[in-house]
Amino acid sequence: MLETLAGMRQPAPLRAIAGRVGLSESQTFRILRELERSGYLDHLGRSGYRVAGRSVALAALIGPRPALLRAVQPVVSRLAHLTGEAVVLHLRSGEMRVLVLGVPAPSGPVLDPEGLLGERSPLAVGSSGRIILAYLTESERAAMDLAGITAARLAAIRERGYDTSFGENHPGVNGISAPLLVHRADTRHSAGDDARPNELTALGAITVAGPSTRLAEADFPRVLAPLLGACRDLNPRLASLLGPQPGRTVQALDL
C-alpha cells in the first residue's frame, strides 16, 4: 500500500488507491486506517491520503538516499537559483522514471515539486522521459510502449542533447530536460546487448520547469547552459553513488 501511494499524486483519494492496488474500497480503507494510526500516512479528509513523516523518516535510514541528497541537492538548488525556475531530478527505473528530488522556483513554485516525490511516469511521456529513452539501445526499447515515438525522433533528441515539453504533464507548465549520462563501460549489460561499451546511457534527467508565461520556447536558451552544466557536474557523482544498475536500485526501493 505504501509503495502504491508513494507512486501516486498526493493526496490520493480512497477510490483511486483501491483501484491501483486492486482491492475493494473497504479493504483498502482498513489498511490505510492502520497505517494512519501508526503514523505512516496522513488522512486529509476528502482530499485523501499522503505519505507521512514516519514513512519519510524510515526511508531516510536505509539505502543511499541520504548520500544521494547530499550529492545532488546543492547542484539542483544552485540551478533553480540561476534559472529562477523549479528544478526536478528523475532517475530511470526500467520503463519508468521516478522523481527523487524537486526544488521550487525562488519566486515560489508553479507546482510543488516536493509533493510529487516518488511519482512514477512512463518514459514515453514528457521531456524528462524522452531524453532518457533517446540514450537507450534498440533492444532496451523493444519491449517498451513508445507511444508512437519514432527512432528518428529519438536520434534527433540525442543529437541535440536535450528535449522540451509544453504542458504535457502539467497544463500551463513548460520544461526543458537534459540527461544524466554514464559510459556503458560503467554499467553491466548483457552479452546480447546491441550497445558498444564506450556508448553513453542515461541514469536519469534534470528538468527546469516554469509557467508558460515565463518559460516560453524563446526562453529555453537562457536556462540551457546552466542545465547542461549541472548535468555534467552530477554525472560522475551519480555513477559512483548509484552503482552499475541504478534502475534496479530504485525498483528495490533503496531510494
Domains present along the chain, CATH in parentheses: 2-59 (1.10.10.10), 65-251 (3.30.450.40)
Mean pLDDT of 225-240: 91
CA distance from start to end of the chain: 17
Distance CA 14, CA 5 (A): 10
pLDDT of residue 108: 73
Residue with cell 519508468: 96
Q: What is the DSSP letter of 11?
A: S
Lowest mean pLDDT among 18-32, 63-77, 82-96, 121-135: 63-77
CA 161 – CA 148 distance, rounded (Å): 20
Q: What is the pTM of this model?
A: 0.70
Amino acid at 142: A
Rounded Cα distance between 252 and 194, Å, is 26
pLDDT reading at 62 higher than 70: no
* pLDDT tens column, 7-49: 788 889 999 999 989 999 999 999 999 999 888 898 999 899 9
Q: Is the pLDDT of residue 137 over 90?
A: no
Q: How many CB atoms lie within 10 A of CB 38?
A: 11
